[in-house]
Structure 1
Amino acid sequence: MATPQTTIETVTITRPLKVIAFICGLIVIILMIMGLASTDWLMAAGWRQGLFLHCIEEGAPQPLPFNMQEPVGCYPSRDAGYIRAAAGLCIITLLADLVATVLTGLGLRTKEHHTKYKYYRLAVVAMAIALVAIIMALVIYPVCFAAELNLGNRTIWEFGWAYGVGWGAAIFLFGGIVLLMCDKESEEIYYKERKIVHHENDSRA
């Protein structure tokens, strides 16, 4: 005779919002590396300025900005406090977002419910630190530059794509924070239980 046996199987379905937050963290890492490496934060005729280097292009009109006397080429950034501050804040952004992204990945990976949300809460804090740091850098840089504009020896100055990349990173950080915070327990993980009936035949002598 068949002996029915009932077991309950739990199926865990991960919601996509945390995955999207993890992707936002990865995008911020890429954007911050690009911004830190670029010299296109601030540009004028024959002059490009980044966080760690400034470059003088061939045929740059004289006199050069900020009374520089170097020939054509790239050189370490000027000893200006706001440039160093912006660079330091951007490094903090990169490191904090890296920590937040790792924590989000660990949260996605673990199966322990309480550990998962502990990782997510820590990731929110790290991303918030990164967001505050990048916004401070993006505000300090143009405001302090405006104070020394009379030394620029150029009538037209433009903020380059690297400065825009910083704002892009801020937007993705904000999105990652929102996704990590708004995705509550009932939204993030869904437990589905289903009954499975097994029929086993009795062995006959």
Structure 2
Amino acid sequence: MAPTTTIETITITRPLKVIAFICGFIVIILMIMALASNDWLMAEGWRQGLFLHCIEEDVIPPLPFNLHDPPGCYYSRDVTYIKATAVLCIITLITDVISTIVTGIGLKTQNHNNKYKCYRIAVLVMLMSLISLLTALILYPVCFAAELNLGNRPVWQFGWAYGVGWGAAIFLFGGVVLLLCDKESEEIYYKERKIVHDNQLRA
């Protein structure tokens, strides 16, 4: 019997998509670290995070922002920019988790239409995550500068947790670029091969 030609669809996973997935996973870790830390803003005898501020044992009065608490950790001050930054960072974490999961689903699925949809959704959600984080990282120092006269400290510095936030922003930007640059059409290949079917009946 004459050979027949079949067309196979071959899906190739590009490394850029895998790297984008890894970037999203790293951002999850970095954002958890930033949210959990009290080292966003630091001065002598004072550490401030998004949910708590801590007064150290050797603090020299007067305390920053006209507080009168003894040494210890307390809930963050009732200030709008701190709450807004915390909310934006939580949104960043949630949206990044969603985009990373969707990217992983896109890597795993073999259906090229579903794969394309997953990557498109992932890049949009990750872009939303990046915008939220950049807004938080800009809002925090700008609004703090407006109340600097209440700081009662000559030297203020942003702690490592704030730097971790910028690190997360860099990885988010990288993930968005990688998802945008690696076109879905480059992942689908069509290959022809000939198959000989032996259908002769034996006596």
TM-score, normalising length: structure 2: 0.91
Whether the 8 Å contact between 1:3 and 1:202 is mirrored in structure 2 is no
Q: Structure 1 unaligned segments of length 5 or more: list them.
A: none
1:1-205 map, 5 Å: 10-187=9-186, 189-191=187-189, 193=191, 195=193
What is the rounded CA distance, in whole Å, between the counterparts of 2:120 and 2:164 in structure 1?
26
After TM superposition, give the deviation of residue 204 of structure 1 in Å: 6.1
Deviation larger for 18-27 or 3-12: 3-12
Deviation larger for 112-121 or 39-48: 112-121
The one-letter code matched in structure 2 to 1:145 is F
The one-letter code matched in structure 2 to 1:57 is E
Deviations 1:6-33 (A, max 9, x none): 7665543211111111111111111111
The one-letter code matched in structure 2 to 1:176 is G
What is the rounded CA distance, in whole Å, between the counterparts of 1:102 and 1:48 in structure 2?
34
When you count strand as a share of all residues, which structure comes out higher?
A: 1
The one-letter code matched in structure 1 to 2:129 is A
What is the rounded CA distance, in whole Å, between the counterparts of 1:5 and 1:94 in structure 2?
53
DSSP-derived class of the 2:152 partner: coil
Distance 1:201 1:124, change over 3 A: closer
Whether the 8 Å contact between 2:5 and 2:192 is mirrored in structure 1 is no
Whether the 8 Å contact between 2:7 and 2:190 is mirrored in structure 1 is no
The one-letter code matched in structure 1 to 2:150 is L
After TM superposition, give the deviation of residue 193 of structure 1 in Å: 2.3
The one-letter code matched in structure 1 to 2:23 is C
After TM superposition, give the deviation of residue 106 of structure 1 in Å: 1.1
The one-letter code matched in structure 1 to 2:189 is Y
RMSD between aligned alpha carbons?
2.0
DSSP-derived class of the 1:91 partner: helix
Deviations 1:49-85 (A, max 9, x none): 0000000111011111111111111110000110001
After TM superposition, give the deviation of residue 201 of structure 1 in Å: 10
Whether the 8 Å contact between 1:3 and 1:201 is mirrored in structure 2 is no
The one-letter code matched in structure 1 to 2:123 is V
Distance 1:203 1:3, change over 3 A: farther
What is the rounded CA distance, in whole Å, between the counterparts of 1:10 and 1:124 in structure 2?
25
Aligned-pair identity in percent equals: 67
What is the rounded CA distance, in whole Å, between the counterparts of 1:42 and 1:108 in structure 2?
39
What is the rounded CA distance, in whole Å, between the counterparts of 2:68 and 2:194 in structure 1?
81
